[in-house]
C-alpha cells in the first residue's frame, strides 16, 4: 500500500448549485498545525468547510484528508476530522451534555460504558466534569460552543475544521475558546472573514468567488485587508448573484 | 421546562431502568384496577413516603413538578361536586395524582439514554423482523431536544411579526414556521452526518 499524502489535499474540487460553481476547481495542499482560510461573505467559505468535512459531495474533483476520502468513507472520516459549525445550535443534537458527548464515540463503534468513560474523561480534561448532567438547552452561547468543541475532541480527530467559530461572541468568551482551541491537540483549519481571527497563523489561503486568489504566509492577510477596505468603499451590495 | 431531573443524587438512579419502568407499569395498573377511596389514600401516603426518602430538596422539587396537575384536579372536583358525586371525584383525582407522581419519580431518577436503552431492548423482536427501529430510537431524544427549540423559534417569529404589525399573528405565519422547522431538520441532518449519522452499532 502506498503511503497516504499527509494533510489535506484537494484536486480540481468543485461544487455547483445549479449552473453556478460556488467552489470552482480548487487545488489545495494544506498541512498543520494551523491553516487559515480567509474570504468575504459569499466567497464559498462555508461550502468549502462542508466539502472538506465530507458533508457535501463535490460535483468534481477529489478530496483527501490524511488520505481518507471524506465523502465516501464516513467511518474513517469521523475518526480523522471534526467540524465546528458557526452556530452551535445547529450542531447540538441531544438534550443533555453527556449524551451529546457520547454520541460521536458510539458512532466510532465504542461500547456504551467505554464511550461514557471517554466522554467523562474529556469533560474532566476541559475542567467541566460537573457539566455531565446539564441540559444543553440551558447552556449559554459560549458554553454551547465549548460543548461542541468537547464533543468533537472526545473523538480525538487529527483535524478540526472551524467555520467562523467566533462570530457574534464577546471578547472574554472568544479568548477562552481560543485558549481551548490552541491546546486541543488537533491540527486546525480555521475559516473566517476576519483577519484578526487568523493572526499568528503560518499558512493562509484567500478564497475569492469560489477560487483561491492567494496562498502564503501572514502577508496574505495584509493583502486581503487592503482589498477589503477598497471594496468596502464601493457599493457591491447592489450586485445580485448569478 | 421539559427536562424532569432530580436535583440530588438518589439511590434509585443506580437501579435498572427496566425494573423501574416495570414497577411503574404494575403500580399504575393496580391503581386503576383496585376500587375504593381508601386504596388511593393509602397509595398517596406511600407515594409521599417515596418522595421524602431522598431528602427535603428532592421532596420540594418533586412536589413542585406536580403543581401542573392542580387545574385538572380542580375541574374534576368542581364538576363532581355539581353532579353530587364528590367521593368519586376524590378517587379519580387521587388516582391521577398518584399515577403522575410515580411516573415523575421514574423520569427524575432515570437518564434519557437508559430509557432509550429499554426501548432498544423492547424493540429487539421488531429489529430481528427487519424493521428500521434504530430510526425510532434515535427519534426519541431528538424530539425532546427540539421541542424547546421549535417553541423558541416560534416565539422569535412572533416577535418579528409584532415588530411590524399591530395585529395578531394569523395563518400566514404557518408557512414560515414550517420552513424554519425544515431548515432545522437540514441542520440536524448535517450535524448527524458530521459525527457518523444514525447507524445502529450493537454492543
Q: What is the ipTM of this complex?
A: 0.73
- Report the length, in residues, of chain A: 242
Predicted local distance difference test score (pLDDT) of residue B199:
58
Say yes or no: A137 contacts chain B, CB-CB below 8 A. yes
| Contact criterion met (CB < 8 Å) for A107 and B188 | no
> Residue B7, exposed/middle/buried by CB under 10 A (0-12, 13-18, 19+)?
middle
User: Which segments within A199-241 are labelled E, that is strand?
Assistant: 203-208, 211-216
Closest CA–CA distance from residue A219 to any residue of chain B (Å): 33
- A94 contacts on B by Cβ (under 8 Å): 141-142, 145
Predicted local distance difference test score (pLDDT) of residue A238:
80
Cβ atoms of residues B144 and A99 within 8 Å: no
| Contact criterion met (CB < 8 Å) for B193 and A103 | no
Cβ atoms of residues A122 and A154 within 8 Å: yes
Predicted local distance difference test score (pLDDT) of residue B4:
66
Determine the Cα–Cα distance for residues A22 and B65; give it in Å rounded to an integer.
52
Cell of A4: 497516504
Chain B interface, mutation test: which of A90, A98, A138, A163, most B Cβ atoms within 10 Å? A90
Closest CA–CA distance from residue A226 to any residue of chain B (Å): 35
Domain A8-233: assigned CATH number: 3.40.50.300
Summarised one tens digit per residue, pLDDT across range B52-99 is 998 888 898 888 888 888 888 888 888 888 887 888 888 888 999 999
Q: Which residue of B has its CA nearest to A108?
A: B196
| Contact criterion met (CB < 8 Å) for A91 and B191 | yes
Predicted local distance difference test score (pLDDT) of residue A198:
94
Chain B interface, mutation test: which of A107, A108, A122, most B Cβ atoms within 10 Å? A107
Chain B residues 35-94 within an 8 A CB cutoff of chain A: none
Closest CA–CA distance from residue A89 to any residue of chain B (Å): 9
Closest CA to B99 of B156, B40, B20, B158: B40
| Contact criterion met (CB < 8 Å) for A96 and B111 | yes
Cell of A53: 468535512
Determine the Cα–Cα distance for residues B2 and A5; give it in Å rounded to an integer.
49
What Å distances lie between residue B46 and A39, B31, B50, B51, B181, CA to CA? 66, 12, 6, 9, 44
Helices (H), A6-107: 45-52, 74-80, 97-107
Element (H, E) at B189: helix B174-194
What Å distances lie between residue A38 and A51, A184, A202, B6, B155, CA to CA? 16, 22, 13, 47, 35
| Contact criterion met (CB < 8 Å) for B194 and A75 | no
**CB atoms near residue A48 (< 10 Å):** 28
Say yes or no: A53 contacts chain B, CB-CB below 8 A. yes
Per-residue model confidence as pLDDT tens for chain A (242 residues): 556 778 999 999 999 998 899 999 999 999 989 999 999 999 999 999 999 999 999 999 999 999 999 999 988 999 999 999 988 988 998 888 998 999 889 888 899 899 999 999 999 999 999 998 888 888 999 999 999 999 999 999 999 999 998 888 899 999 999 999 998 889 999 999 999 999 999 999 999 999 999 999 999 999 999 999 999 998 888 888 66
Predicted local distance difference test score (pLDDT) of residue B2:
43
Task: Report domain extents, chain B.
Answer: 16-110, 132-194
A95 → closest Cβ in B3, B193, B201: B3
Closest CA to A35 of A184, A213, A189: A189
Predicted local distance difference test score (pLDDT) of residue B132:
82
Half-sphere exposure of A2 (CA within 13 A, CB side): 5
| Contact criterion met (CB < 8 Å) for B111 and A75 | no
Per-residue model confidence as pLDDT tens for chain B (203 residues): 345 677 778 888 888 989 999 999 999 999 989 888 889 999 999 999 999 998 888 898 888 888 888 888 888 888 888 887 888 888 888 999 999 999 989 988 887 778 888 888 888 898 888 888 888 887 887 887 788 788 888 888 887 787 777 777 778 888 888 888 898 888 988 998 898 876 544 43
Task: Report domain extents, chain A.
Answer: 8-233
| Contact criterion met (CB < 8 Å) for B195 and A152 | yes
Quote the longest CA-to-CA distance of chain A: 58
Chain B residues 108-127 within an 8 A CB cutoff of chain A: 111-113, 117
Amino acid at each position: 500500500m502506498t503511503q497516504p499524502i499527509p494533510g489535506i489535499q484537494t484536486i480540481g474540487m468543485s461544487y455547483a448549485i445549479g449552473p453556478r460553481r460556488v467552489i470552482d476547481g480548487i487545488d489545495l495542499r494544506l498541512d498543520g498545525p494551523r491553516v487559515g482560510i480567509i474570504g468575504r461573505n459569499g466567497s464559498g467559505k462555508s461550502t468549502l468547510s462542508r466539502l472538506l468535512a465530507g458533508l457535501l459531495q463535490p460535483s468534481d474533483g477529489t478530496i483527501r484528508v490524511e488520505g481518507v476520502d471524506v465523502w465516501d468513507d464516513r467511518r474513517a472520516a469521523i475518526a480523522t476530522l471534526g467540524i465546528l459549525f458557526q452556530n452551535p445550535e445547529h450542531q447540538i443534537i441531544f438534550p443533555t451534555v453527556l449524551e451529546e458527548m457520547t454520541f460521536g464515540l458510539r458512532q466510532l463503534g465504542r461500547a456504551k460504558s467505554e464511550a461514557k468513560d471517554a466522554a467523562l474523561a474529556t469533560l474532566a480534561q476541559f475542567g467541566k466534569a460537573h457539566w455531565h448532567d446539564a441540559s444543553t438547552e440551558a447552556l449559554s452561547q459560549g458554553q454551547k460552543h465549548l460543548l461542541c468543541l468537547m464533543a468533537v475532541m472526545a473523538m480525538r480527530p487529527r483535524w478540526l475544521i472551524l467555520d467562523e467559530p467566533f462570530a457574534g461572541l464577546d471578547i472574554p468568551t472568544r479568548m477562552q475558546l481560543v485558549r481551548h482551541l490552541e491546546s486541543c491537540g488537533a491540527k486546525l483549519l480555521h475559516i473566517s472573514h476576519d483577519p484578526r481571527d487568523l493572526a499568528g497563523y503560518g499558512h493562509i489561503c484567500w478564497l475569492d468567488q469560489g477560487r483561491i486568489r492567494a496562498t502564503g504566509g501572514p502577508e496574505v492577510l495584509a493583502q486581503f485587508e487592503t482589498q477589503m477596505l477598497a471594496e468596502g468603499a464601493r457599493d457591491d451590495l447592489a450586485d445580485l448573484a448569478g | 421546562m421539559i427536562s424532569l431531573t432530580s436535583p440530588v443524587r438518589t439511590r434509585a438512579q443506580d437501579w435498572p431502568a427496566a425494573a423501574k419502568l416495570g414497577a411503574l407499569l404494575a403500580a399504575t395498573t393496580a391503581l386503576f384496577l383496585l376500587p375504593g377511596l381508601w386504596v388511593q389514600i393509602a397509595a398517596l401516603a406511600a407515594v409521599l413516603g417515596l418522595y421524602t426518602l431522598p431528602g427535603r430538596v428532592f421532596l420540594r422539587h418533586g412536589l413542585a413538578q406536580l403543581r401542573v396537575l392542580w387545574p385538572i384536579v380542580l375541574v374534576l372536583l368542581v364538576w363532581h361536586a355539581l353532579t353530587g358525586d364528590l367521593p368519586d371525584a376524590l378517587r379519580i383525582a387521587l388516582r391521577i395524582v398518584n399515577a403522575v407522581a410515580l411516573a415523575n419519580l421514574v423520569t427524575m431518577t432515570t437518564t434519557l439514554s437508559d430509557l432509550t436503552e429499554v426501548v432498544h431492548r423492547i424493540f429487539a423482536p421488531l429489529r430481528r423482523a427487519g424493521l428500521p427501529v434504530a430510526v425510532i430510537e434515535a427519534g426519541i431524544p431528538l424530539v425532546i431536544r427540539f421541542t424547546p427549540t421549535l417553541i423558541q423559534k416560534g416565539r422569535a417569529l412572533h416577535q418579528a411579526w409584532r415588530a411590524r404589525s399591530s395585529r395578531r399573528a394569523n395563518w400566514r405565519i404557518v408557512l414560515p414556521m414550517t420552513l424554519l422547522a425544515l431548515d432545522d431538520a437540514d441542520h440536524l441532518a448535517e450535524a448527524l452526518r458530521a459525527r457518523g449519522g444514525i447507524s445502529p452499532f450493537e454492543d
